[in-house]
């Protein structure tokens, strides 16, 4: 891999293996995360997501392989280099007797961050009104937001987020991902581990599916759908009285479902999608609307969980 590629990647994982005794938690993982990218890790419990994240954070050493995070070995990173990363664990724990603002002030001093910045971050995560309350009074969702606030201190170049929206209601989850999107636009890279498949599918630039410590697949949602060989659903709105004729002409192009007198749904594989679209274009006088619906992440995920072959 050339130097330019390395500079373009915030994370480089090559042939990494991590064992605990006789158990292999991560096996032969190769993964690159580009600068500014929103990468999401999904997988079953025990798939190796959290272990891989701990390796990237330098909290544990690989048994085999190499890792480079922001250009350096995470285990040997200096204090200044570690300040360029932020981490939100799945279970956020702070001292219950401290106030929210005191917690953030403590972490701000450790990172050399001035008071105006951390108070602004409290507002961004929606805790400005609860800043002077003790952590013991915080709900789990509020603790998660306080965890995100400390991770954001110092404008880190890279965020590690392990199930970060656990305990947040739908509105706060949306606000959280809106914030990650904004940070990404400014160049911040994020690696998020999540079980909420439908929640992350539109919020990720690429998705990595892990299974039994290995990477089963990695790519955009469209890439994963093609790799899995899953069909795209094409929904047609047909002029009144023409549904039967259209269905007959397109019957050989995929699995067809007549929705009603004005609509048809066709499932087609990527290999036949363009031929199907050409036929539909030729019927433009009776086709009133077309909608293409790619496979959802939950369906793609289930495909790889049932497939024994791993990369």
Q: In the sheet that 287-293 helps form, which strands lie side by side, from edge to edge?
A: 255-260, 263-268, 232-238, 287-293
32 vs 120 pLDDT, higher one: 32
Look at the domain 1-84+157-227+296-311 and name its fold. Answer: Rossmann fold (3.40.50)
For position 14, what pLDDT does the model report? 97
Residue 1 confidence (pLDDT) above 80: no
* Cα dist from 14 to 68, 139, 149, 189, whole Å: 9, 39, 31, 19
The string of pLDDT tens digits covering residues 153-211 is 988 999 999 988 877 788 878 888 888 888 888 889 999 998 888 888 888 999 999 99
Torsions phi, psi for 81 (to 5 deg): -70, -40
For position 139, what pLDDT does the model report? 87
Cα distance between residue 295 and residue 105, in whole Å:
45
Residue 52 confidence (pLDDT) above 80: yes
The string of pLDDT tens digits covering residues 99-138 is 999 999 999 998 888 888 888 889 888 899 999 999 999 9
Is it true that 1-84+157-227+296-311 and 231-294 share their CATH fold? Answer: no
pTM of the predicted model as reported, rounded to 2 decimal places = 0.82
For position 49, what pLDDT does the model report? 94
**Residue ranges of the domains in the chain?**
1-84+157-227+296-311, 92-155, 231-294
For position 7, what pLDDT does the model report? 53
- State the average pLDDT over residues 241-260: 84
CATH of domain 231-294: 3.30.70
Provide the angle, in degrees to the nearest 10, between the axes of the packed helices 297-306 and 221-228.
Answer: 40
What's the start-to-end Cα distance of the chain, in Å?
Answer: 19
């Amino acid at each position: 891999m050339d130097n330019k590629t390395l500079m373009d990647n915030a994370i480089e994982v090559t042939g990494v293996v991590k064992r605990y005794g006789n158990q292999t938690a991560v096996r032969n993982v190769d993964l690159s995360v580009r600068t500014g990218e929103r990468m999401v890790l999904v997988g079953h419990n025990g798939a190796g997501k959290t272990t891989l994240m701990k390796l990237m954070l330098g909290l544990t050493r690989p048994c085999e392989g190499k890792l480079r995070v922001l250009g350096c070995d995470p285990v040997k990173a200096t204090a200044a280099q570690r300040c360029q990363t932020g981490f939100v664990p799945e279970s956020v724990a702070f001292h219950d007797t401290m106030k929210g603002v005191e917690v953030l002030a403590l972490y701000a001093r450790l990172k050399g961050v001035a008071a105006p910045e951390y108070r602004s971050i409290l507002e961004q995560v929606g805790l400005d009104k609860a800043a002077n309350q003790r952590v013991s009074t915080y709900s789990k969702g509020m603790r998660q937001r306080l965890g995100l606030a400390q991770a954001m201190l110092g404008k880190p170049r890279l965020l590690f987020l392990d199930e970060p929206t656990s305990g947040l209601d739908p509105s706060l989850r949306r606000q959280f991902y809106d914030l990650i999107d904004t940070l990404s636009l400014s160049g911040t890279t994020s690696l998020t581990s999540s079980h909420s498949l439908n929640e992350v599918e539109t919020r990720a630039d690429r998705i990595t599916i892990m299974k039994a410590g290995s990477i089963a697949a990695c790519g955009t949602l469209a890439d994963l759908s093609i790799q899995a060989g899953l069909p795209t659903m094409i929904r047609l709105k047909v002029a009144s009285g023409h549904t039967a004729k259209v269905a007959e002409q397109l019957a050989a192009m995929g699995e067809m479902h007549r929705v009603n007198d004005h609509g048809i749904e066709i499932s087609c594989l990527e290999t036949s999608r363009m031929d199907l679209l050409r036929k539909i274009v030729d019927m433009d006088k009776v086709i009133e609307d077309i909608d293409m619906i790619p496979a959802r992440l939950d369906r793609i995920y289930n495909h790889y969980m049932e497939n024994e072959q791993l990369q």
